Structure 1
């Protein structure tokens, strides 16, 4: 039986109408998800990566001095050595410390770009899904315009026109071309929820549109969007590395895996460790993020399998 609330006599918005059956089903899926070993493994890896990005000095100090800016040209491009498990880069800096500190910029770009794109997608997706046909058509046409630009090509054009390419700038450019896909997912989710029984009941009891969106539509339409966002983070990290490798992404003094790969392109044949270690960390991070998102999606939305 649906739990509803009676509109108060003073005409104010009624208490919320909830869908306990839907909530119970979602809770059961989350409990099933938490019992999956692969979910726990990938979730633990994601948490570890976030800790490395947030406190790189804590992990970089495990071996050697842990300072990526302390360099000695006498050790230029030398391989692994005691206290320096990844060896040195071409400038004689500790490669392990640089790889650990590179997680902050790479994950920072991924999280910031995805967060900004998600915020835009939630606003425009809810407007398109809940407003009338005119608003929906306008947002759809704007979305189509941005989807018409190739992602990397559009980012290259914009980044070539700016003078400073730091983490916020690169993340903002990637968010500029990343929000349309998430907007379409939000719109589809909102439209699938807005005619649910508990939403119709809440509307009939006089609840405002804002109350319906915040209390009922968004909580029940958010799961597929968050799953897509977790997968998008990995894609954005790859895009940042590719742009930086091409010379239009992050610039020194930033430290990122893309910059390390770009610095290794002329000497990786004779010094392969310069490419191997940053590349392994990049591949591992993207693999973990995408796998984590896929596991969550399969558990919470079995129809998408």
Structure 2
């Protein structure tokens, strides 16, 4: 039968040569254990066995983000909304691409006139070109939406992530503080907070939206972190001596950020609509800033006499908000395997 452990022996002690040699010393054991924890981390974040999704390079399963990008590229809703948003961002950065007309140059003799050569959208009450103001209005509205979303996502993710990871009195304090902000009506809060602001820039509006927007993202981030830190790979890394910073940045945050991205993407469109609402009420952006909300407010009393004044800025606002909401829905479907 051969010697024990020989090539013909049924009693081979190690089928895998890597198991025959154990690392010596505390350093070797720690390296092997950390390697096992990182392997569990990758397995937790990579979907396996999903039908219709080809494996990644080398036959390995796709990561969460690679799989999500593969799904997004095949989603017509994402393609259309992404192209539309890219066009709107280009117009916001470079409005001269579509018009050379100054949106603040007005001619009262042409007040409320309809479409004319070189002025396809007509004129408003002050005789300003509606097409030029619609194009230039994209800059202020999109700037408010992007800046407010970035600020709310950053502040909410930081506070919510720390509260969910460490728990204790900090978690309780954050939860109660968020409940207070949830109880403040957005429009009423804007009327109170922004009515005392005299600045004509976009930053007071951005600050107000961040102030009322961070609790929602903080609650999402807190829940995601609490779920992620209970996974086996996090517990393994903790038992092997990994510090809180490494656990948070290396293992927890990458697996808890997806819900935050989805909520922030959808919220961006909501923040653009909120800016227009506050500007319509006269407490958001103010002249001489060019904004869709300001133009809608000025056109509302003249809707019967000159409906074109309201149609174009309101249409641009609706399309922009819809594009960001559609993008958020597509990203949510791609990042949540349960919705596929």
Q: Find out whether 1:17 has 2:38 as its counterpart.
A: yes
Q: 1:68, 1:280 → 2: CA distance?
A: 18
Show the counterpart of 2:264.
Answer: 229
Distance 2:26 2:302 in 1: 72
Q: TM-score, normalised by structure 1?
A: 0.90
Work out the CA distance in 1 between the residues paired with 2:292 and 2:271: 13
C-alpha displacement of 1:283 = 0.4
Establish whether residue 130 from structure 1 lines up as the match of residue 160 from structure 2: no
1:174 and 1:257 map into 2 onto residues whose CA distance is 17
Aligned twin of 1:253: 288
Q: C-alpha distance in 2, partners of 1:78/1:109?
A: 31
Q: Do residues 30 (structure 1) and 69 (structure 2) align?
A: yes
**Matches of 2:168 and 2:307, distance apart in 1:** 57
In the other structure, the counterpart of 2:184 is 149
Displacement, 1:152?
Answer: 1.6
The match for 2:315 among 269, 280, 289 is: 280
1:210 aligns with 2:216: no
Query: Does the CA contact (< 8 Å) of 2:200 and 2:289 recur in 1?
Result: no
Partner of 1:43: 82
> Deviation per CA, 1:164-222, whole angstroms, max 9, x where unpaired?
24201111011111111111000011111111122222222322211221122111111
SS at 1:254 equivalent:
coil
Distance 1:7 1:160 in 2: 64
Change (3 A) 1:81 1:198: same
The answer to whether residue 93 in structure 2 is matched with residue 54 in structure 1 is yes
| 8 A Cα contact 2:200 2:287, kept in partner | no
* Aligned 8 A contact 1:159 1:165 in 2: no
Report how many aligned residue pairs link the two structures: 294
Q: Which runs of 5+ in 1 are unaligned?
A: 1-5
Report the 3-state secondary structure (helix = DSSP H, G, I; strand = E; otherwise coil) of the residue aligned with 1:111. helix
Q: Give the corresponding residue for 1:3.
A: none
The aligned counterpart of 1:118 is 153
CA distance in 2, matches of 1:100, 1:57: 9
**Cα offset for 1:25?**
4.8
Aligned residue in 2 for 1:271? 306
Find out whether 1:76 has 2:98 as its counterpart. no
Asked whether the 8 Å contact 1:17–1:199 carries over to 2, the reply is no
User: Does structure 1 retain, via aligned residues, the 8 Å contact 2:77–2:326?
Assistant: no
In structure 1, how many angstroms separate the alpha carbons of the residues matched to 2:110 and 2:250?
60
Partners of 2:291 and 2:176 in 1: how far apart? 36
Q: Which ranges of structure 2 fall in alignment gaps of 5 or more residues? A: 1-24, 47-61
Other structure's SS at 1:177 match? helix
Kept in 1: contact 2:209–2:271 (CA 8 A): yes
